[in-house]
């Protein structure tokens, strides 16, 4: 019975922590918005580029588990492209593309979007 009380208390604490983290995120996003509007056009462009890089890195860490490198390779081959040609088209290194296809590295959103555009879902 005491264990159930402890489990309930732990679950409650987890929920409270999640609420606090969400509130903190809202606060930071509000501060970012207020600061962003004061930026020059060049500074806004640099900021957005940095944000895009951050999100791309984050997506690599949290890419979905459904990705199948062999399926991706079939899409590329169906288009008649070798790895070097496909990597160049996407602005990736040949090594990175190879790592995506062999499962050594999680794919970026940009790569997944490229695959979907070229029929990844149909294979």
> Per-residue pLDDT tens for 94-112?
998 998 898 888 888 888 8
Q: Is residue 113 within 8 Å of residue 91, measured between CB atoms?
A: no
If DSSP codes are grouped into helix, strand and coil, which group holds residue 118? coil
Query: Is 7 found in the same domain as 57?
Result: yes
Residues of the domain holding 26? 2-61
Check the CA dihedral 112-116-121-123 and report its sign: negative
| pLDDT, position 122 | 57
> Do residues 23 and 56 both lie within one domain?
yes
Predicted confidence at residue 77, as pLDDT, reads 94
Asked whether the predicted pLDDT for residue 53 surpasses 50, the reply is yes
Distance CA 70, CA 75 (A): 9
What mean pLDDT value characterizes the chain?
83
Residue where a domain terminates, one of 45, 61, 77: 61
H or E stretch covering 24: helix 2-36
CATH code for the domain in which residue 98 is found: 1.10.260
Per-residue pLDDT at 66 exceeds 80: no
Same domain, 76 and 95: yes
Same domain, 47 and 12: yes
Among residues 61, 85, 105, the one where a domain terminates is 61
Counted domains in the chain: 2
Mean pLDDT of 43-48: 87
- The residue among 35, 61, 87 that closes a domain is 61
Same domain, 73 and 36: no
């Amino acid at each position: 019975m005491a264990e159930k009380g402890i489990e309930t208390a732990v679950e409650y604490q987890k929920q409270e922590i999640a609420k606090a983290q969400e509130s903190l995120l809202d606060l930071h996003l509000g501060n970012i918005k207020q600061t962003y509007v004061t930026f020059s056009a060049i500074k806004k462009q640099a900021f957005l580029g940095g944000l895009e890089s951050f999100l791309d890195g984050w997506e690599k860490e949290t890419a979905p588990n459904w990705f199948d490198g062999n399926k991706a390779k079939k899409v590329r081959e169906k288009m008649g492209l070798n790895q070097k040609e496909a990597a160049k088209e996407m602005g990736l290194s040949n090594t990175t593309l190879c790592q995506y296809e062999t499962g050594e590295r999680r794919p970026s959103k940009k790569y997944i979007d490229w695959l979907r555009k070229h029929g990844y879902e149909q294979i």
